A = this chain, B = another copy of it.
Amino acid sequence: MKLYMTEMSGNSFKVRVLASILGLDYESIRIDWENNEHKSDSFLKLNPRGQVPVMEIEDRVLWDSTAHLVYIARRYGGETWLPSDPLQMAEIIQWMAFAQNEVQFGLQWARGVTVYGRRPESFEGYLTDGRLALNILEDQLVKTGDWLALGRATLADIACYPYVKRSGEGDLPTTYYPEVEAWLSRCESLAGWIEMDPKV
C-alpha cells in the first residue's frame, strides 16, 4: 500500500491517523506541494482531481480519502471502525458524507479563504454552512455523549476531525461549542493517535 500525501493535507491526515491507530505498514510518498507536483501530468494521471491523498493498492488507485478510510477499515479494522451491519454502516457513512459536505464546504473552505485567499467571494456561504456543521456536531454530541455514532470511536469521528479542529482559522471558532471541543480532545487521546501538522 502506497500513500501519496503531504503533512499539511487534512484529508491525508485522516488516512495517516487511522493507519497509525491500526499499526499498518505502508509506503508514504510526499508530494512536493510547494512546487505544484499535484498539478503535474504524471500526478494528474494518478488523480484527475490534482489533490492528495492518493492510495495505490497493488495495481489499483483510489483518489478519495473517504474511499481510503472505507478500504482500510473494512480490510484491516474488523467490525470496529466501519461495521458490516447495513444500518450501522449507513450511520457511519452519513457522518462521512457530512464531513465531505458541511465540514468541507463550510469549515474547510472558509479557512481556504482566510488562510489561502481562495474564492473570497464565496466566504459568506462557507460561513453559513460551517456554522450549520458546528451546530449539528454539537447537538449530536449532546445526544450521543462521547462519540458521533455507535457509542465508540469510528470512521465518523476520524472523517470529521481535521477541519473541525482547524475551524477557528476560518473565523468559525469552536469556543461556543463545548461538546465539540471535548470531542476533539477525546479523539486526540485515542491510542495510536498522531499529532496533526500545524499547517493543516
Residues of A within 8 A of B (CB): 48-49, 57, 60, 62-64, 66-68, 70-71, 74-75, 84, 86-87, 89-91, 93-94, 96-98, 100-102, 104-105, 119, 121-122, 124-125, 132, 135-136, 139
Secondary structure class of chain A's binding surface, majority of residues: helix
A86 & B74 in contact (Cβ 8 Å cutoff)? yes
Contact of A86 among B66, B70, B90, B94 (CB under 8 A): B70
Residue on B with the closest CB to A137?
Answer: B48
Instruction: Kindly state the separation between the CA atoms of A139 and B63 in the bound complex, as whole angstroms.
Output: 15
Cβ-defined contact, A94 with B49, below 8 A: no
CA distance in complex: A94, B54 (Å): 11
Are A86 and B75 touching (Cβ within 8 A)?
yes
In contact, B48 and A70 (Cβ under 8 angstroms): no
Contact partner of A84 (CB less than 8 A), chosen from B68, B84, B135, is B84
Contact B84 A64 (CB under 8 A): no
| Nearest CB in chain B to that of A67: its residue | B94
Q: Is the CB of A64 within 8 A of B119?
A: no
Given the complex of chains A and B, what is the CA–CA distance between A90 and B71 in angstroms? 5
Q: How far is the CB of A44 from chain B (nearest CB, A)?
A: 10
The complex places the Cα of A60 from the Cα of B104 at a distance, in Å, of 26
Task: Tell whether A71 pairs with B100 under 8 Å between CB atoms, given A66-B93, A93-B64, A94-B62.
Answer: no
Q: How far is the CA of A96 from the CA of B69 in the complex (A)?
A: 14
Query: Are A87 and B60 CB-contacts (below 8 A) given A48-B136, A101-B100?
Result: yes
CB neighbours (8 Å) of A90 from chain B are 62, 67-68, 70-71, 74
